[in-house]
Amino acid sequence: MRPGMPDAALQRLAEAAAAMPVEERVCLPAGFAAGAAAIGIKPSGRPDLAVVVVTTPEPASATGLFTRNLVAAAPVRLSRAHLAASGGRVRALAITAGSANAATGPEGDADEEEISGALAAAAACPPAEVVRASTGLIGPRLPVPRVVAGIGGLVPDRVARDDAALEAVARAMMTTDTRVKAATATVDAGSGGGWRSVRVSGIVKGVGMIHPGMATMIAIVLTDAPVAPATLSALLPPAVALSFDQLTVDGDTSTNDTVLVLASGAAGGDEILPGTTDAESVAVAIAAVCRSLARQQAADGEGATCRIACRATGAACLDDARAVSRAVVRSTLFKAAVHGRDPNWGRVAAAVGAAARPDGTPVAVDVASLRIALCGTPVFAGRPLAFDVAAVRGAMEAPEVTVDVDLGLGEAAAEAWGCDLTEAYVRENAEYST
Amino acid sequence: MRPGMPDAALQRLAEAAAAMPVEERVCLPAGFAAGAAAIGIKPSGRPDLAVVVVTTPEPASATGLFTRNLVAAAPVRLSRAHLAASGGRVRALAITAGSANAATGPEGDADEEEISGALAAAAACPPAEVVRASTGLIGPRLPVPRVVAGIGGLVPDRVARDDAALEAVARAMMTTDTRVKAATATVDAGSGGGWRSVRVSGIVKGVGMIHPGMATMIAIVLTDAPVAPATLSALLPPAVALSFDQLTVDGDTSTNDTVLVLASGAAGGDEILPGTTDAESVAVAIAAVCRSLARQQAADGEGATCRIACRATGAACLDDARAVSRAVVRSTLFKAAVHGRDPNWGRVAAAVGAAARPDGTPVAVDVASLRIALCGTPVFAGRPLAFDVAAVRGAMEAPEVTVDVDLGLGEAAAEAWGCDLTEAYVRENAEYST
């Protein structure tokens, strides 16, 4: 993800986002209503259809980032087209779970037209103001009549304006997720049209087929901030670059990745303009919410027993710091070692030495200046260090295993998140479609 | 690996190599002697030191390709330097297993100087005519006095000129390998200095920390062909590009990858010159031996129950075909599905759609023209196809699961190999260093 800002600015945003307080809870900002239902896509019978409707007189400002997988799913293609056609205006969103509607051919696209048309009719808006997301098995088609009937049953009468309604959406979009993942930040925006409190709240699903660029997932970020679509569009890429792009569970890139941000403006006051301190506050809040969601995804990774967090410092450039931190949390062998709480730092060194920039060139690494610490204990500094293996093993029992990699070559820093590789991951994924 | 030849020539070489008969057995070509011993590096007490000595009056012509991991192990750095200093001449090779001598700092380099010096003294050759390889845990140093004593015990009196001696080398360099992997091809070289039969024989170790560029491994290819070092150097890169570079077990790139080719010239006759049909025959034989070794590595992948072979055809260019076939055998999710004999072709489609060229740009993919077959059964052709799931499940019980991906965009084709992802892989790697 090209974040569209200079490296130094991106690194400052990362630090501000990491420092901002974020609550790991669901919160529905003003200007939205939500609801969910079970329509039988999931064999379990659990809720699998969710809607979010914008309740303000004007549609919400909206922006989205989507999978770069060339086998992009039909709902991804539809949402891209609708956001472009509406100029970033959204009235309603529908999410289906249990089937990805990916690799379904022209029939899958026709299905999306029918579903989004039904939602537009129910929400009394132009079709281009509807967006879609779907997640689940690749290949099968959606049960369109049931989706359409389900939407009609929810919109407009069965949606609610409370936090529980958004939690129901978060639950409905879960597939192999084991828990709701949500994050909320509140910022005071005092410049421009008077003081107001602005809320940014996100929910996310996705704990497998997760890999940078972007991770497999659906993330919905809602805010009551009054921002124009163009302003919002500029805030999302850096937030995603610092969060979902630095997340890997299994190295697989999904066909259905979708991150949507909707801004209702219901917090009131004048429009927040680009370059103001208020815009800066909202940018940090969006980045902080995305970072929290990505970290929660890592912890809930398929079969995972712990999160792995790698912080790379001292890199010659930001691309290197980002690549090194990702390479460490992606290493299959290191992930397996973490599962055994084995402080096998050699696998970290091997991952660092093989890390590559986005253009395929090797990251700048000098073994003599390389330092590695596991759970805060230095284990390598140009050569192996003696350390208390039993103590580090003990520290690795924590819910988060940290790896610090100092390349000793510059000032750039970045972080990335993943999880351990377990037998449960293999079992879960050896029998998914059947 | 840049193969150093045009794409069309590389594709012809691939076809010739795939068609050449190769025996999966150990064979020591004329002009070499070999031996192995147990010196206590491996905790199991199994043989862990091996030597190969050139018995012809002149040292062998030699070439090598090594890991591109920037945390390259000390024996890799020594071998690179010695091959450069000697102009591609080798008298003796020593391999140690159980410790990689990687990330061991300046002390690790000093250890290699001492070990190679001892081998040069025993083999009565200049130090630059000695090469080294080592495999095993990253971090620990080698027990140098025992290595030196072991070399003295083997060279010159305890090496033998029979196939069993090379099989002992193959066994001594095994770590998590479960079986000897060897390949032998014989070609008639009739031009130039009269008819003769030339033998090309290879052994390989490495079934984990295996990923393209290059896979983690030590491969030793011996031939009695009379070829100059420069000729040999040109033959190896295309052979590696078509074999070890198209192999992945876990996506991790080792610090110790080493492929060495030694040519003794003991088959007799005039030197085989570049551009002759004899040189072409030797090139195909080396490529065929490397391909066989890579396929055997995939089948013996850590914890694996089967090999996955992907053939990508119809690609717009060779880079695309190579990248797509590698992406499929690398997909963690597809590897897990294969373990469950689950014909989950959606994971193949997702891997194809996310495949990238070496420079990071996406492979050219058009879903409408994409075709996928599993074990010979078409399952996707622009849209999902109805197929007999039970029959494909049954076919997936074979020792090799084949995936055919036709991009429908051009003429380029390539193949890649991997293995299923199993709970045994996780168990094996969760507790390796301890």
Q: Can you tell me the distance from the alpha carbon of B93 to that of B75, in angstroms, rounded to the nearest whole number?
A: 11
Q: Which of A255-269, B160-174, B264-278 has the lowest mean pLDDT?
A: A255-269
Q: Please report, for residues A407, B53, B125, B230, B264, the alpha-carbon distance to residue B57 in angstroms, rounded to integers and kept in the order given.
A: 48, 12, 11, 19, 9
* A118 in Cβ contact with A148 (< 8 Å): yes
Q: Within an 8 Å CB–CB cutoff, is residue B427 touching chain A?
A: yes
B153 — phi, psi (to 5°)?
A: -75, -25
Establish if B2 touches chain A: CB-CB under 8 angstroms: no
Determine how β-strand A377-381 pairs with β-strand A307-315.
Answer: unpaired
Q: What is the pLDDT of residue A216?
A: 53
Orientation of helix A332-339 relative to helix B423-430, angle to 10°: 70
The predicted pLDDT at position A66 comes to 87
Give residue B254's pLDDT: 54
What HEC string does chain A produce? CCCCCCHHHHHHHHHHHHHCCCECCCCCCCCEEEEEECCCCCCCCCCCEEEEEECCCCCEEEEEEECCCCCCCHHHHHHHHHHHHHCCEECEEEEEEEECCCCCHHHHHHHHHHHHHHHHHHHCCCHHHEEEEEEEECCCCCCHHHHHHHHHHHCCCCCECCHHHHHHHHHHCCCCCCCCEEEEEEEEECCCCCCEEEEEEEEEECCCCCCCCCCCCEEEEEECCCECHHHHHHHHHHHHHCCHHHECCCCCCCCCCEEEEEECCCCCCCCECCCCHHHHHHHHHHHHHHHHHHHHHHHCCCCCCCEEEEEEEEECCHHHHHHHHHHHHHCHHHHHHHHCCCCCHHHHHHHHHCCECCCCCECCCCHHHCEEEECCEEEEECCECCCCHHHHHHHCCCCEEEEEEECCCCCEEEEEEEECCCHHHHHHHHCCCC
Give B193-213 pLDDT, tens digit per residue: 566 889 999 998 877 765 544
CATH of domain A7-299: 3.60.70.12
| Chain-chain contact of B359 with A359 (C-beta, under 8 angstroms) | yes
Chain B CB within 8 Å of residue A337 CB: yes
Q: Does B431 score more than 80 pLDDT?
A: no
Mark which residues 179-208 of B lie under 8 Å from A by CB.
Answer: 208
| More confident call, B425 vs B35 | B35
In which band, very low, low, confident or very high, does the pLDDT at B62 lie, cut at 50, 70 and 90? very high
- Residue A370 C-alpha, separation from nearest chain B C-alpha, in angstroms: 10
| Three-state secondary structure readout of B321-374 | HHHHHHHHHHCHHHHHHHHCCCCCHHHHHHHHHCCECCCCCECCCCHHHCEEEE
| Per-residue pLDDT, A428 | 80
Report residue B19's pLDDT band, with 50, 70 and 90 as the boundaries.
very high
Calculate how close chain A gets to B74, using CA atoms only, in Å. 12
- Per-residue pLDDT, averaged over B287-299, amounts to 91
The amino acid occupying position B30 is A
Separation of CA B118 from chain center: 28
What is the number of CB-based contacts under 8 A between chain A and chain B?
235
Tell me the pLDDT tens digit for each residue of B307-353. Answer: 999 999 999 999 999 999 999 998 888 999 999 999 999 889 989 98
CA distance B145 to B149: 6
Considering the domain B307-430, what is its CATH architecture? Roll (3.10)
Work out the average pLDDT over B13-19: 92
Q: Which of A350, A367, A370 sits opposite B254 (nearest CB)?
A: A350
The β-bridge relationship of strands B92-99 and B49-54 is antiparallel
Q: Which residue of B has its CA nearest to A73?
A: B350
Rounded distance, CA A401 to CA A399, Å? Answer: 7
Enumerate residues 290 to 319 of chain A having a beta carbon within 8 A of any beta carbon in chain B: none
pTM above 0.80?
yes
Confidence at residue B191, expressed as pLDDT on a 0 to 100 scale? 65
* Neighbouring C-beta atoms of residue A306, cutoff 10 Å: 21
Q: Give the pLDDT mean for B125-149.
A: 94
Q: Regarding beta strands B218-223 and B258-263, do their DSSP bridges make them parallel or antiparallel, or are they unpaired? A: parallel
Contact B337 A425 (CB under 8 A): no
- Tell me which of A67-81, A137-151, B20-34, B391-405 is least confident: A67-81
Give the pLDDT of residue B196.
Answer: 82
Is B107's Cβ below 8 Å from some Cβ in A? yes
Q: How far apart are CA A177 and CA B138, in angstroms?
A: 35
B434 is catalytic: no
**Any idea where the domains of chain B sit in the sequence?**
7-299, 307-430
Tokens matching residue A64: 């989205």
Strands A130-137 and A92-99: parallel
- Tell me whether A382 touches chain B (CB under 8 Å): yes
Cα–Cα distances in Å, from B72 out to A156, B77, B104, B208, B330? 63, 7, 10, 17, 23
Instruction: Spell out the per-residue pLDDT of chain A, length 434, in tens.
Output: 567 788 889 989 999 999 999 999 999 999 999 999 999 999 999 999 999 999 999 999 999 888 877 778 899 999 999 999 999 999 999 999 999 898 889 999 999 999 999 999 999 999 999 999 999 888 889 999 999 999 999 999 999 999 999 999 999 999 888 889 899 999 988 765 566 889 999 998 877 765 544 335 888 899 999 999 999 999 998 888 888 888 876 665 556 678 889 999 999 888 999 989 999 999 999 999 999 998 998 898 888 999 999 999 999 999 999 999 999 998 888 999 999 999 999 889 989 988 988 888 899 999 999 999 999 999 999 999 999 999 999 999 999 999 999 999 999 999 999 999 888 888 888 875 44
Q: Do the domains A307-430 and A7-299 match in fold?
A: no
Report the alpha-carbon distance of residue B190 to residue B196 in Å, rounded: 6
Using alpha carbons, select from A404, A284, A416 the residue that is nearest to residue A12: A284
User: Choosing from A67, A135, A175, A216, which is the catalytic residue?
Assistant: A216
Query: A40-44, B185-189, B405-409 — which one is most confidently predicted on average?
Result: B405-409
Q: Please tell me if residue B112 touches chain A, with a CB cutoff of 8 Å.
A: no
pLDDT of res. B20:
93
- Are B332 and A333 a contacting pair at CB < 8 A? no
Nearest CB to A350 within list B209, B428, B434: B209
Report CB contact under 8 Å: B353, A250: no
